[in-house]
């Protein structure tokens, strides 16, 4: 894995702008197509929005770290936070063919993540959620 970089954010929605800028800079530095940069921003934005909105039991400041790296034809993103334990991979897969008013709320975000990324793994160690996302590129 080539050295990438790590971005330390706080659990505030305004930080998503910094994340978007970091993804753009990472994508440009590694020659990623605009469409792929957009997909990565979308995935990371979705995951961090959920963490920020639902992950913490208080209104205190907490930190979320997003690591980004490239290894040849593979991109790797690692999100670490101290939010409530939550494995997004256990979320029920939504029935995207059901009528909108018949669908339960939630689940579309992780569906999107799974559709865009090639591999997604979750672990909880020492009070830290760690989500590992990998995307193969040509």
Measured between alpha carbons, how far is 61 from 7 in angstroms, rounded to an integer? 16
- Start-end of H helices in 4-122: 15-29, 34-54, 108-116
Instruction: Judge if pTM exceeds 0.85.
Output: yes
Antiparallel, parallel or unpaired: β 119-125 and 128-136: antiparallel
Phi-psi region of 5 (alpha: psi -120 to 50; beta: other; left: phi over 0): beta
Q: Is the pLDDT at 99 greater than 80, yes or no?
A: no
CA 31 to chain centre: 20
As assigned by CATH, the class of the 5-136 domain is: alpha beta
The pair of three-digit structure tokens given for residue 101, joined into one six-digit string: 């008013």
Roughly how many angstroms between the first and final C-alpha of the chain, as a whole number?
16
Question: Quick one: pLDDT at residue 1?
Answer: 45
Mean pLDDT across the chain? 89
pLDDT at 74 > cutoff 90 = yes
User: What is the average pLDDT across 54-72?
Assistant: 96
pLDDT at residue 93 above 80?
Answer: no
């Amino acid at each position: 894995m080539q050295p990438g970089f790590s971005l330390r954010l706080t659990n505030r929605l305004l930080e998503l702008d910094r994340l978007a800028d970091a993804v753009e800079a990472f994508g440009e530095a590694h020659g990623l197509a605009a469409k792929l940069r957009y997909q990565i921003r979308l995935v990371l934005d979705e995951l961090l929005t959920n963490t920020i909105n639902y992950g913490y039991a208080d209104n205190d400041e907490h930190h979320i770290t997003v690591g980004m790296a490239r290894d040849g034809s593979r991109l790797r993103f690692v999100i670490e936070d101290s939010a409530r334990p939550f494995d997004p991979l256990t979320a029920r897969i939504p029935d995207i063919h059901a009528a909108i008013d018949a669908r339960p709320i939630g689940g579309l975000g992780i569906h999107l993540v799974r559709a865009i990324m090639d591999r997604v793994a979750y672990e909880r160690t020492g009070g830290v959620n760690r989500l590992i996302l990998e995307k193969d590129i040509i």
